[in-house]
Amino acid sequence: MPKKRTEQSAPPRGHGVIEGAGAVVEQQITDTLEKNYMPYAMSVIMSRAIPEIDGFKPSHRKLLYTMYKMGLLGSARTKSANIVGQTMKLNPHGDAAIYDTMVRLSRGYEALLHPYVDSKGNFGKFYSRDMAWAASRYTEARLDDICQELFRDIDKDTVDFVDNYDNTLKEPTLLPATFPSVLVNANTGIAVGMASSICPFNLSEVCQTAAALMRDPEHDVATTLLAPDFPGGGQLVYDRAAMEEIYRTGRGGVRIRSRYAYDKSANCIDVTQIPPTTTVEAIVEKVVDLVKQGKLKDISDIRDETGLDGLKITIDLKRGVEPDKLMQRLFKMTPLEDSFSCNFNVLVGGIPRVLGVRELLEEWTAFRVECVRRRTFYDLAKKKDKLHLLKGLQAILLDIDKAVATVRRTEEESEVVPNLMIGFGIDETQAEFVAEIKLRHLNREYILKRTEEIGQLEKEIAELQSVLDSKSKVKSIIISELDAVAKKYGQPRKTMMIYQNEIEEYSAEEEVADYPVNLFFTRDGYFKKITPLSLRMSGEQKLKEDDEVVQHIEDSNTADLLFFTDRCQVYKAKANDFGDTKASVLGEYIPAKLGMDEGENVLYMAVTHDYDGYMLFFFENGKAAKVDMSAYATKTNRRKLLNAYCDKSPAVRIAYVKEDCDFMLTSLQGRILLVHTGAIPSKSTRSTQGVAVMTLRKGSRLLRAEPYSEGMLVNPNRYRKNIPASGSLPTAEETAGEQLKL
């Protein structure tokens, strides 16, 4: 039965009903993205995920500035809940998000080289997924001493201030950090369509590099900024070329290895430092998973022994295991070695830019120069104002009695200032200052002491003016501040640097047993690997009905296998990927084993070790292609290569030859041509169309191509010709004894 459509009567107007509510309005998807999504994307980029040149995201800056205004710099700690509550006046987020930000900046969390929050209580650990921090009501915090460098002279108009979200308070747009904090502490963020990932560097090295670049813009950054320095330590595998690429472009990656020690008495490995991109739990889970899969047989137990002494993962070894070789395998197979991807994306003037280290430090220097100039201008204005007042005070020094008499003779209070202005030739501001002097200060000693400051003030004003007029003096001030910060807060590198040529890399081939095997491949795509002993003891090969063995190759268990398909693709595997079997089983079905496309069939199996020799392809159109086997070698473990050979004409024969030899070609009309592969030029491009070898008449095609061996033809010279050639029809003696075949 059809459903009955019911309509409810609309409630009367004026009862909380929004006119037009529930109506479906069609809108172009481009308009929706532009009106709804783009503002969100811009907000995330500009106000949330990407750090600015001072090294902070808005959430960090709002939290630290709130703590600064609470007087938590150099004072006793207060409850974290109190800080979170006060921060809400600047940061329109929930308490959980604000406290989460605070935790990541804290000393207890250990995620920063130089923490900004001096914490007390359980703040969790960045290297553990399960060690959660305590609630904000249980922990306490204050600003760390290094924050003095973040807020130095912030009250001297060094940076701009803007209204908070409800226009009740002012907050700084940037913090006037006296050192390049953007490079000292790690900062990562994912925005919309872009991300930022800045690795931390040693404070002393960063300050030294920034100062050196100010002295010499052509300074080689790599000589002073050695490499990233991570708070969790570890070992950085140093690659000069990769490091220079990061310094130049702001993009790249560095490899970080865990640090470990072997305890001989307990026969165990203690891992004490891990890469910053992983956690203790992730490492333990991966090792346990590999042991369950049977890929790691040398480990008897692994446990997390992290405690008050810090991070510790203990790996118990079986008897006779070499710890260093095991660790090489673990570095290769687990997150004990990981990469940190760098993407130095920073907001500069409200625009996201990916900068190299040199450009980043140049932008920071420009920002810092502006801070110092604004501070100097502020101090200059204050001193000029003070000097102006003292000049007025100096004027009444000439006749204090006259000043007193002027005030006494004035009948109305409002006339005191004008009369002083007239009597001593001073302006209104100076007259106001003089008029406000207390009666007890109307003595010569007080006024002389105050006016003695005039000379010192004039000297200081001249000095400040010279700083404003000289860019080199501003840079000298910044350099001296950098040196002071490095001396006061600098600390030794935590991450050890090891060079690529000093370490041994684990190679999977070392673990593969090398022994002789017989490789069988059938027309229907079945593969068997049988040892010689098993083959001698076996009977007849078991095959599917109407199937047959088309290739039987004697080789070793370390051989590489290349399966060429009818879709012009090649799938790569290793002989050791397949288990040893017997003749009495069907074997592995290659299309399923290697995940081939639906309906894809294997035409040929090539077996190689060093990828020397050639691959030969004979096509129905009479052409032949000769491709260097090295074109199929890959540095990575890629399992599938596209465009393995030309797809312009179907392949009649695929063959792998190590040396040039003869092939016998037969056309549809029965013509025979003997071709030496040395006459076919080799190509490094896999998809080459090849060269014309056999000239075919209209409607004809190449039928067969097979390796020629002595005795196959009675008179082989009759069929040898310069290519391309149409070949010759076989003589009667060649076909003697053959039956007519349909």
Which residues are catalytically annotated?
Answer: 138
The string over 689-728, giving b where at least 16 C-beta atoms fall within 10 Å of a residue's C-beta and e elsewhere, is bbbebbbbeeebbbeebeebeeeebeeeebbebebbbbbb
Residue 343 and residue 197 in contact, taking contact as beta carbons nearer than 8 Å: yes
- What does the DSSP 8-state code read for residue 132? P
Rounded-to-integer distance, Cα 516 and Cα 533, Å = 10
* Cβ atoms within 10 Å of 401's Cβ, excluding its own: 9
Kindly report the three-state secondary structure assignment for every residue of 261-308. Answer: EEECCCCEEEEEECCCCCCHHHHHHHHHHHHHHCCCCCEEEEEECCEC
Rounded-to-integer distance, Cα 661 and Cα 658, Å = 9
Q: Is 618 helix (H, G, I), strand (E, B) or coil?
A: strand
Rounded-to-integer distance, Cα 468 and Cα 369, Å = 10
Rounded-to-integer distance, Cα 671 and Cα 533, Å = 45
- Residue recorded with tokens 């002595």: 710
Q: In what order do the strands lie in the sheet with 259-263?
A: 259-263, 268-273, 313-317, 299-304
Q: What angle do CA 190, 188, 33 make, to 5 degrees?
A: 15
* Cβ atoms within 10 Å of 443's Cβ, excluding its own: 10
Q: Is 113 helix (H, G, I), strand (E, B) or coil?
A: coil
Distance between alpha carbon 235 and the CA centroid of its chain, in Å?
A: 18
Q: Which residues pair with 530 in a beta bridge?
A: 518
Total number of residues shown for the chain: 742
Q: Would you tell me the crossing angle of helices 80-87 and 95-104 to the nearest 10 degrees?
A: 120
Read off the amino acid at residue 345. Answer: N
Residue 180 and residue 149 in contact, taking contact as beta carbons nearer than 8 Å: no
Read off the amino acid at residue 591. Answer: P
- Residue recorded with tokens 């991070």: 311
Rg (CA), the chain: 41
Read off the amino acid at residue 713. Answer: L
How many CA within 13 A on the CB side of residue 569? 17
Work out the end-to-end distance of the chain between its first and last CA atoms, rounded to an integer number of angstroms: 66
Q: Would you tell me the crossing angle of helices 416-424 and 400-409 to the nearest 10 degrees?
A: 140
Q: In what order do the strands lie in the sheet with 337-343?
A: 187-190, 195-198, 337-343, 251-257, 235-238, 496-499
Rounded-to-integer distance, Cα 226 and Cα 243, Å = 9
* Cβ atoms within 10 Å of 82's Cβ, excluding its own: 15
Q: What are the residue ranges of helices labelled H in 294-415?
A: 323-333, 357-397, 400-409
Q: Taken in order 282, 285, 288, 290, is the CA torsion positive or negative?
A: negative
Residue 391 and residue 448 in contact, taking contact as beta carbons nearer than 8 Å: no
